[in-house]
Amino acid sequence: MKLNVIGRKLNVYEETKTLIAKKLEKLDKFFAEEGEATVTLSRKRGVSTIEVTINAGGTLFRSEQDADDFRVALDRCVDIIERQIRKNKTRLAKRLRTAVVPDMVAFSEEEEDEELLIRTKEFSVKPMSVDEAILQMNLLGHDFYVYADDGDGKIHVVYRRKDGNYGLIIPHTD
């Protein structure tokens, strides 16, 4: 697995990178092709935060955990991602072969006013069904997901409702 370790306002030592590589190595068995992992470490007010994002075959797995120690947070992240993979094993096996999920291209932050910070995220979209979009939204742990519909090619949005069900937004252009 390709590994990219990022330290936010802190230095990441080689022994930490080695530990992360060793822990993520146990997830390689789930992927037919080589995955790419991005691990972001940060510490704020004595709380260590680690975010692990794995892109394998176009499918994204993500977990973010806080703990007093990076090792504890890393263990939790790996367990959560492994649980996500096992939970969606049959669906993911099919998708990992076809790679139908968008890849992230760029993040940028623009400052419009001193008080207003706008975070912009750009990504390519590939056609998928509503079920695939809901699966990807759940894997990422988000409340909504933007995708291109495989039927009409238009951009749609699925979202999680407060009652636990899902909603679908289909834009109408005149």
115-149 pLDDT per residue, tens: 667 778 887 788 899 998 898 888 888 889 999 99
Q: Which domain holds residue 141?
A: 104-169
Q: Could you say which DSSP state residue 117 is in?
A: E
pLDDT at 50: 92
- The answer to whether 145 and 125 are in contact (CB under 8 A) is no
CA dihedral 43, 137, 30, 27 (to 10 degrees): 10
CA–CA dist 55, 107 (Å, integer): 16
Number of structural domains, the chain?
2
Distance separating the N- and C-terminal Cα atoms of the chain: 47
Residue 9 pLDDT level (bands cut at 50, 70, 90):
confident
Same domain, 81 and 131: no
CA–CA dist 164, 14 (Å, integer): 43
**CATH at residue 34:** 3.30.160.100
Same domain, 49 and 132: no
56-88 pLDDT per residue, tens: 777 788 899 888 888 889 999 999 988 888 776
Check pLDDT > 70 for residue 90.
no
pLDDT at 95: 59
Count the neighbouring beta carbons within 10 Å of the beta carbon of residue 168.
12
Same domain, 73 and 125: no
pTM value > 0.75 = no
Residue 159 pLDDT level (bands cut at 50, 70, 90):
very high
